[in-house]
Structure 1
Amino acid sequence: MRVLELAKRRKTVRKFSKDRPPIELVFKAIETAKEAPSGMNAQPWKFVVIDNPELKARIREVCEVEEEKFYERIKGELKEWLVENEFTPEKPFLTEAPYLVLVFGYTKAPYWLQSVWIAVGYFLLALEEVELGTVTYTPPNTRPIEELLQVPREWRLQVILPVGYPDDPKPKLKRKSIEEVVSFNKF
């Protein structure tokens, strides 16, 4: 079960090596992602690869502005969790990773949201197979990024995936047991 091995090994990566992986590895992962199933075979995804340092810096700047607004208004359990885990509005991985892969969904397609996220799952495992890391990051407000990149209105940013060789010492977080996530014939 190679997929299970990849899934068990895969972890979130927010720190990247300065070594730049060959772009072919990113395209291999996209090639895998595009094989995902989709409603009516609409394949409602678009992968935008960004390696231009100035554009990555602009994306980071826009995202951090939106993160600041988000952090000002959150409360309760989420705020406590973010503070406890030392999260801030700063997103250095957006400029430190050699590549950003932005995944957009075509909102006029049936089941577009589910289809796009299945493709993202394929992409994550494909990155793991070629020993690249990422974090699934979605800004609190995607519209400024869509405007920056002149994305047509019917397309919506789902996730920004910074991609590179991992240099993140944090271990993978513990997963729930199979008994906690499966039941038979009832919830």
Structure 2
Amino acid sequence: MRVLELARRRKTVREFLPDRPPKEDILKAIEAAKEAPSGMNAQPWRFVIIDDDWMKGKIRELCEREEEKFYSRTRGDLMAWLNAKGFRPEKPFLSEAPYLILIFGHTKAPYWLQSTWIAVGYLLLALEELGLGTVTYTPPNPRPIEEFLRAPQDYKLQTILPVGYPADPKPKYERKGLEDVVSFNGF
């Protein structure tokens, strides 16, 4: 089962080699993502590819500003986890990755949220198959990015995928066992 192999191999990548993958590979991955099922076949997703260095820098700046606010108000278990994993408001992968793929969902479409995230899942596996790495980065407040890109009012940013050849040495986080996530005929 090729999909299972890809899913087991895929990991979060926050560090990238400087080499720029061919645009055709990015488009090939999006070609797979757009085949995802969607409510009423509305296909409510929009993929915005950013490869301009200035724009990537501006997106990083906007995201880090919102991350600072997020970190200043976050407490408890979440903050402890972020600190333990070494996460900080700085997001260098947003300007260092050769590409950013911003995925928007059309909020007027039925089941837009679920449909858009199914397409994200397809995209993650397609990128893995092409030997490309990414992280699903969701800004704490997507509004500044939406405004910067002049997104139509009915489109909401769901995630930003920095994409490139992986250079991240960290291993994939452990996954729960099948017996921990599956039950039959009830919870």
TM-score between the two structures when normalised by the length of structure 1? 1.00
Q: Deviations 1:106-151 (Å, cap 9, x if unpaired)?
A: 0000000000000000000000000000000010000000000001
Alpha-carbon shift at residue 56 of structure 1 (Å): 0.3
Amino acid at match of 1:121: G
Structure 1 unaligned blocks of 5 or more: none
Structure 2 unaligned blocks of 5 or more: none
Alpha-carbon shift at residue 186 of structure 1 (Å): 1.5
Alpha-carbon shift at residue 178 of structure 1 (Å): 0.2
Identify the residue that residue 121 of structure 2 maps to in structure 1: 121
Q: 1:89, 1:156 → 2: CA distance?
A: 22
Q: 1:20, 1:167 → 2: CA distance?
A: 13
Identify the residue that residue 178 of structure 1 maps to in structure 2: 178
TM-score between the two structures when normalised by the length of structure 2? 1.00
Amino acid at match of 2:121: G
SS in 1 for 2:159: strand
Identify the residue that residue 18 of structure 1 maps to in structure 2: 18
Amino acid at match of 1:55: M
Amino acid at match of 1:153: Q
SS in 2 for 1:32: helix
Identify the residue that residue 102 of structure 1 maps to in structure 2: 102
Identify the residue that residue 130 of structure 1 maps to in structure 2: 130
Q: 1:53, 1:68 → 2: CA distance?
A: 22
Amino acid at match of 1:182: V
1:67-86 to 2 correspondences below 5 Å? 67-86=67-86
CA RMSD of aligned residues (A): 0.3
Alpha-carbon shift at residue 37 of structure 1 (Å): 0.2
Amino acid at match of 1:94: L
Identify the residue that residue 146 of structure 1 maps to in structure 2: 146
Identify the residue that residue 168 of structure 1 maps to in structure 2: 168
Alpha-carbon shift at residue 26 of structure 1 (Å): 0.5
Amino acid at match of 1:40: M
Amino acid at match of 1:152: P
Q: 1:156, 1:20 → 2: CA distance?
A: 28
Q: 1:134, 1:76 → 2: CA distance?
A: 28
Q: 1:19, 1:55 → 2: CA distance?
A: 18
Identify the residue that residue 2 of structure 2 maps to in structure 1: 2
Alpha-carbon shift at residue 94 of structure 1 (Å): 0.2
- The size of the alignment, in residue pairs, is 187
Moved over 4 A (4+): none
Identify the residue that residue 31 of structure 1 maps to in structure 2: 31
Alpha-carbon shift at residue 158 of structure 1 (Å): 0.2
Q: Percent identity?
A: 71
